[in-house]
Amino acid sequence: TFVVTENCIQCKYTDCVEVCPVDCFYEGPNFLVIHPDECIDCALCEPECPAEAIFSEDELPEGQEKFIEINADLAETWPNISERKDALDNADEMNGKEGKAEMLER
Ligand code: SF4
Ligand code: F3S
């Protein structure tokens, strides 16, 4: 399965949702997650993310492993999103910032 990681937080560009053939993205206030039981591992979303926040669970960067559980948990409660929308304000400034994990709103 594919996993949305820390750098999506406070950016939420949403380019990813447009290409997903099974519409398995779910949306929170400042982050998206992928439902691990619905993702078919097509990898189409990975290159679409301007924040490079999407990885296969087998290729997660160091320190991002906790996002496997975060995606699984939040996909159960957040609403589905399948159409692109505007990124969050200041998304470009927040892209690449460190310490964004603490800013995750649930
Ligand atoms: Fe959707 Fe494919 Fe990305 Fe999984 S890998 S979230 S199925 S676009
Ligand atoms: Fe987030 Fe990247 Fe999608 S920033 S909303 S994972 S395009």
User: Which CATH number fits the domain that encloses residue 41?
Assistant: 3.30.70.20
The answer to whether 49 and 9 are in contact (CB under 8 A) is: no
Structure tokens at 23: 């519409």
Asked, for residue 25, whether it belongs to a domain, the answer is yes
Asked, for residue 8, whether it belongs to a domain, the answer is yes
Residue nearest to atom 7 of ligand 2 (CA): 49
Asked, for residue 99, whether it belongs to a domain, the answer is no
Structure tokens at 60: 């997660």
Q: In the prediction, which pLDDT does 10 show?
A: 98
Give residue 85's pLDDT band: very low, low, confident or very high (50, 70, 90): very high
Asked, for residue 101, whether it belongs to a domain, the answer is no
- CA 71 to centroid of ligand 1, rounded, Å: 13
Tell me what ipTM this predicted complex has.
Answer: 0.98
Asked, for residue 94, whether it belongs to a domain, the answer is no
Into how many domains does the chain fold? 1
Asked, for residue 97, whether it belongs to a domain, the answer is no
Nearest residue to 104 via CA among 3, 11, 36: 11
Q: What angle do CA 60, 8, 88 make, to 5 degrees?
A: 175
- CA 9 to centroid of ligand 1, rounded, Å: 18
Asked, for residue 12, whether it belongs to a domain, the answer is yes
Kindly report the average pLDDT of the chain as a whole number.
98
Q: Which of 17, 30, 49, 89 to mutate to test the pocket of ligand 2 (most atoms within 8 A of CB)?
A: 49
Tell me the sheet residues that pair with 56: 2
Residue 19, domain extent: 2-84
Asked, for residue 100, whether it belongs to a domain, the answer is no
Kindly state the average pLDDT of the residues 90-97.
98
Chain centroid to CA 59: how far? Answer: 15
Give residue 70's pLDDT band: very low, low, confident or very high (50, 70, 90): very high
Nearest residue to 11 via CA among 43, 65, 52, 67: 52
Structure tokens at 48: 């679409």
- CA 45 to centroid of ligand 1, rounded, Å: 6
